[in-house]
Amino acid sequence: MAKDLVIVESPAKARTVQRFLGDKYVALASMGHVRDLPRGKMGVDLESGNFDPTYAVMDDKKKILAELRKATKEADTVYLATDPDREGEAISWHLMEAIKIPKKKAKRVVFHEITREAITEAFADPRDLDKDLIDAQQARRVLDRIVGYKLSPVLWGKVRRGLSAGRVQSVALRLVVDREAEINAFIPTEYWSIDADMSKRPQNGRESLFTASLHAIKKTKGRIVIPNEERSTEILNDLAGASYLVDEVRKRETKSRPAAPFITSTLQQEAYRKLRFTARRTMAVAQQLYEGISIGDEQTGLITYMRTDSTNVANQALAQASEYIKGKYGAEYAPTKPRVYTKRVRGAQEAHEAIRPTSIMRDPQSIRQHLSNEQARLYDLIWKRLVASQMNDAIFDSTSVRIGANGKSAEYEFRVNGSILKFAGFRVLYMEDRDDTPIDGDKEIGSMLPHLEKGDQVDCLKLIPQQHFTQPPPRFTEASLVKKLEEEGIGRPSTYAPTLSTLMDRDYVLKDQGRFNPTKLGTAVTGLLTQHFPDIMDIGFTARIESDLDEIAEGEKQWAPVLEKFYSPFGKAIDKAMKEAERIPRDQIDEETDEICPDCGRPMVIKSGRFGRFLSCSGFPECKVSQPLLHRVGVECPDCGSDLVQRRAGKGSKSRNKIFYGCSNYPTCTFASNARPLPQPCPECTGLLVAMGRTNCRCLNCEHKGPRPEEELVEATV
């Protein structure tokens, strides 16, 4: 009897699915997409107005397709079990077209988690391929091909060859460049604050201390503004000898809600904040957890599908969460009915559930031994986020106090707030981290206050003036940039990680202490594109394109008219830019350095080439000296005292392109280490410390191992 064929994307997913389905099925992997638009040419008919694509089988998939074609002929039914989103739907369609699977023989099955129950349910209710989802993915692919193939030659002719532009990546780059422009244009403004160390009059021999802040001058509107030291001194002199009286005490109960279950963007943000995982690393590890891990004798997926913008949670998972919370923490920690979170993201519904554990009862500690360190850390984050999202609010007793001070010429108002955690709620398990601004609804525990009542006299022990300056907006981290892309409706769950990676791979941005800095090349490219392609670089326009793609997926629009509406003005802008745009001078894209050319004595500059950034003489082409760009790590070589630099293994090495750290005096000094050197010396022998993971270190000279010095940890988590 012939076995039914199941086609998925990856071998890991195939192994897990095979275990659940048994011997009546054979599960094989397509290894992702098998067809794509051809390399080296447009592959899209731009003349007819239909935008018909021409697909070609990928060179590395011909052997795989031959095996799948043979298995298809031997099977009674072919189940297309690719991922539950537009991309997965398109892969299934391409498989049907490439293998020539008869329509009557093919069935589409969709599951959002790779567990026995989910797969059994999916195979009991197969469906046909969804043409609307296929059209939406095809429209995105064709649109991105048009933008990339038309815009990139403009950059080759006006900046330098080898550059690329893209519909989403170019707007993401503009966000980084615009933020840098804001920072450079920012002019700090001086202002002062005045705090007061106060005490309540002693009771029973005990004095209660607290600190209040000057808030306002009574009978005037708004908060007081102290622009300079002169004004601060005037107020301090006016308050000399003042008496302080409690004017008002307000007590109320406040609550803090847990964060919603993870969607793709929030998982990437929180994994960066808490674990320092890049978006790409987060998605790679999440893919492993989704496709299946061996837990003893069982191979099963540990989380639901990780490309999603939905905060929905299955009823079964909600019931499990409630059961776990009651058993672990008590009934008072579980709400009477499940929490439901409103979907925050406009548009696409790439999947129908949030990212959650496939079994709440599979807590992180119980499976830790079966996971790698990265898998364990990410699973722990996902598990805690889901369980916490179904716990009761944290409750605080909050007190706000207004204190009057009678100055010589004016009445002043000081304020102080205090909060006492009354009921921890979800905080016993998990709290969401912050970027650069507080998260709405996150109530931090305030200072403890003594018992104060209206009319109480308090003593001012000391007035503390402090100078401040307003700060520019912070540069984007991976977390804050993904958050911004999501808020603006730019891209979709599957695009965030590759977008950020492309910006770095193209040398358009660099990371400095975890934050994106645009290079001169990235700034120049953004300026050129913004001037000649304002629609492409417009955030609102890009978001509207995403909405159009969503409407195609929902069957509300046809994809060819959407592309025609875009391409007509875009094609004209391309022609105009090729004729009118001025070539960008080399000094606008080459970055200055302090290095001097060893041959001619002119300054060396940083250039970007097909193999990355390198040092070149500014006198090129007269002087053709070039050198690899060595990144100094701020640590001396333990053998000769020269600077240690970051290098990449060369072509002859088994670990080609792997980063290592070597002496800048090579080949005279051959010291090298695969682990990153730390600036602090070994506390036992003063030898060279190197990093072990994010938090530990070891000495290369003695057997010392332990946590990294505190200074290094602070720097590493900036």
Q: Is 266 exposed, middle or buried (0-12, 13-18, 19+ CB in 10 A)?
A: buried
Residue 74 phi/psi, 5-degree rounding, is: -85, -10
Would you tell me how many other CB atoms lie within 10 Å of the CB of residue 555? 13
**3-state SS, residue 210:** strand
User: Which H or E run contains 512?
Assistant: strand 509-512
User: What is the CA 140 to chain-centroid distance, rounded?
Assistant: 22
In whole angstroms, what is the distance from residue 709 CA to residue 717 CA? 13
Would you tell me how many other CB atoms lie within 10 Å of the CB of residue 71? 17
Nearest to 213 by CA among 401, 407, 357, 21: 401
Strands 591-596 and 603-609: antiparallel
Nearest to 145 by CA among 9, 30, 51, 31: 51
Would you tell me how many other CB atoms lie within 10 Å of the CB of residue 484? 17
Nearest to 615 by CA among 637, 636, 639, 632: 632
Would you tell me how many other CB atoms lie within 10 Å of the CB of residue 59? 8
What's 457-511 look like in SS3?
A: EEEEEEEEEEEEECCCCCCCCHHHHHHHHHHHCCCCCCCHHHHHHHHHHCCCEEE
Which position among 244, 305, 496, 567 bears the catalytic label? 305
- The vertex-65 CA angle with 63 and 69, nearest 5°, equals 120
**3-state SS, residue 347:** coil
Contact 298, 340 (CB under 8 A): no
In whole angstroms, what is the distance from residue 707 CA to residue 225 CA? 45
DSSP states along 421-460: EEE-GGGGT-----SSSPPTT------------TT-EEEE
Q: Is 508 a catalytic residue?
A: no
Catalytic residues: 305
